[in-house]
Amino acid sequence: MIEDLSMGTDMNELSIVSGKLQLLSIIGDPIVQVSAPLMINTALHTENISDVLMVPLHVKPIGLQNVLDGLKSMLNFRGAIITMPHKQRTLSFIDSASETAVAVGGCNVIRRDNEGLLYGDMLDGEGFALSLLNRGINIEGSKIYLAGTGGAGSAIAHAMADRKPAELLIYNRTLEKSVELIKKLSGLFPNININVGTNIPEQVDIAINATSLGMGENTDLPFSIEKLGPKTLVCDIVIFPEKTRLISLAEQQKLPIHTGRAMLDAQIKLMLDFMLRLEN
């Protein structure tokens, strides 16, 4: 009867699950809110990439190293998206990483090579920058405010600094973290004006939330929008909910918005190409 089910015309969606299946995953804590599996699996179907499927893995921080070590031994594991809160710690448990991931201090995507080694990269920054450019939004020459210095925040800061903004303001509730990131960026981009920001930015072209504030049931604001100019683009990298409290307040103030879904959309092809590549 099992063979009959696999051959049924109305059960074609199950035909992908066979011994030939290659696995992709997304690893995070929590994981119920992620939409990447739906988007990746849709892209796999659209691009006619057969025998590949993405599944979510809910992994607590205490189990992260064991899971990554186990994936090295799974011959049909190809790669994974790494989401909060694992982006920074993952770098310590993989075998090698791109220059960008090392500079940022975290990675958001990994792949397994034919030798069973895990290689990581950080695409948050490139994905976010691409999502702006796809809308015709200028980064070069803009005054940019960024809240958050974690894995995603650091990656976005690098991507913004690399595109020659007029000024980059970086804010974190822990001042030392802002200063540390600014010091690193200033060494890499000595000609870019990079300064510490506050929780009340004003008169900037682009204001970005790269923290987890606003995710899920959290309604805390990462920064105040009360002094932003009328044309400031308010961006949030949080994907669930797509309209965070920050984005909703910006809409109420009739400010232009840019959601986390836009960044994820821009990253999907980048991530898929990375995970399915065999060489480092």
Domain 125-263: which CATH class? alpha beta
Highest mean pLDDT among 12-21, 32-41, 92-101: 92-101
**163 or 6, which is more confident?**
163
Residue with tokens 């020659």: 164
Share of the chain above pLDDT 90, in %: 85
Q: What's residue 156's pLDDT?
A: 97
Going through the chain in order, the beta strands assigned E by DSSP cover 22-28, 52-58, 77-82, 96-97, 109-112, 118-121, 143-147, 167-171, 194-196, 206-209, 233-236, 257-258
Domain boundaries, the chain: 2-122+267-276, 125-263
Kindly report the pTM of this predicted structure: 0.84
Mind listing the pLDDT tens digit for each residue in 132-168?
A: 999 999 999 999 999 999 888 999 999 999 999 999 9
Q: What's residue 14's pLDDT?
A: 61
Q: Which fold has domain 2-122+267-276?
A: Rossmann fold (3.40.50)
Say if residue 55's pLDDT is above 90.
yes
- Establish whether domains 2-122+267-276 and 125-263 are of one fold: yes
Distances (CA, A) of 73 to 110, 116, 123, 198: 15, 6, 25, 46
Could you give the CA distance from residue 201 to residue 240 in angstroms, rounded to a whole number?
A: 24
DSSP 242: S
Mind listing the pLDDT tens digit for each residue in 225-261?
A: 999 999 999 999 998 899 999 999 999 999 999 999 9
Mind listing the pLDDT tens digit for each residue in 77-131?
A: 999 999 989 999 999 999 999 999 999 999 999 999 999 999 999 999 999 999 9
Share of the chain above pLDDT 70, in %: 94
